[in-house]
């Protein structure tokens, strides 16, 4: 149902907020969005529509490792998303501000130690918390990514991974234009 997804229905068209932007899926399967159609985002969006349990958010944050029982996913996630995002953020300090402006991110207070804590909503019931600590003298920067404990109920682990890599691809495109 529409409520389960945090979406809205207009005629036969289903519209879901993805990164603060409308993604509309027609009954024929056509996807219309003001964003670039990125397969890394579109496939997880469709899986979310089909499989999401619609669980309400718990407000409790866990790492990707705690979501996945399969260590292979954790290694992929770290190598293909966390490390490159940290490097990108180190190289382009304005990236965090871009995420807030372009993708409707929200700075938040957390119990985690960080200089910047930002929540993105790639899908209505799949928030991502990014915590970044800037480098200081002899200490390198630190970037951690957390998910609501309900994440895997609302999107399978493969799609969570793909969605995060899709975000990284978008962030890389944004920084390459600056």
Dihedral-angle region of residue 45 (phi above 0 means left; psi in -120 to 50 means alpha; beta otherwise)? alpha
State the Cα–Cα distance between residues 113 and 94, nearest whole angstrom: 20
State the Cα–Cα distance between residues 99 and 4, nearest whole angstrom: 26
pLDDT given at position 70: 66
Query: Is the pLDDT reported for residue 6 higher than 80?
Result: yes
Nearest Cα to 64, choosing from 143, 167, 120, 147?
A: 147
- Angle at the Cα of 87 from the Cα atoms of 43 and 18, rounded to 5 degrees: 30
Sheet holding 106-107, edge to edge: 61-63, 142-148, 126-133, 116-123, 106-107
Query: Is the pLDDT reported for residue 44 higher than 90?
Result: yes
> Quick check: 114 and 96 in contact, CB under 8 A?
no
Angle between helices 157-177 and 39-51 (to 10 degrees): 150
pLDDT given at position 123: 95
> What digits encode the pLDDT tens for the residues 49-108?
999 999 999 999 999 999 877 667 788 899 999 999 999 999 987 777 777 778 888 888
User: In the predicted model, what is the mean pLDDT of the chain?
Assistant: 89
Q: Could you tell me what percent of the chain has a pLDDT over 90?
A: 57
pLDDT given at position 72: 74
Nearest Cα to 164, choosing from 151, 150, 178, 149?
A: 151
Helix (H) or strand (E) holding 148: strand 142-148
| Secondary structure class of 59 (helix, strand, coil) | coil
DSSP structural state of residue 104: -
pLDDT given at position 71: 64
- Tell me which of 125 and 95 has the higher pLDDT: 125
């Amino acid at each position: 149902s529409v409520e389960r997804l945090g979406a809205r229905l207009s005629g036969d068209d289903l519209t879901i907020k993805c990164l603060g932007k409308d993604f509309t899926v027609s009954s024929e399967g056509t996807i219309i969005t003001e964003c670039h159609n990125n397969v890394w985002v579109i496939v997880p969006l469709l899986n979310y529509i089909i499989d999401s349990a619609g669980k309400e958010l718990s407000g409790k944050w866990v790492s990707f490792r705690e979501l996945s029982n399969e260590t292979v996913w954790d290694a992929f996630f770290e190598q293909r998303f966390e490390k490159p995002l940290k490097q990108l953020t180190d190289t382009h300090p304005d990236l965090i501000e871009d995420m807030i402006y372009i993708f409707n991110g929200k700075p938040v207070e957390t119990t985690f130690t960080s200089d910047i804590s930002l929540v993105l909503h790639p899908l209505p019931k799949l928030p991502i918390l990014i915590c970044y600590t800037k480098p200081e003298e002899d200490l390198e920067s630190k970037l951690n990514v957390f998910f609501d404990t309900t994440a895997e109920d609302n999107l399978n682990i493969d799609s969570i991974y793909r969605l995060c890599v899709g975000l990284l691809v978008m962030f890389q495109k944004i920084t390459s234009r600056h």
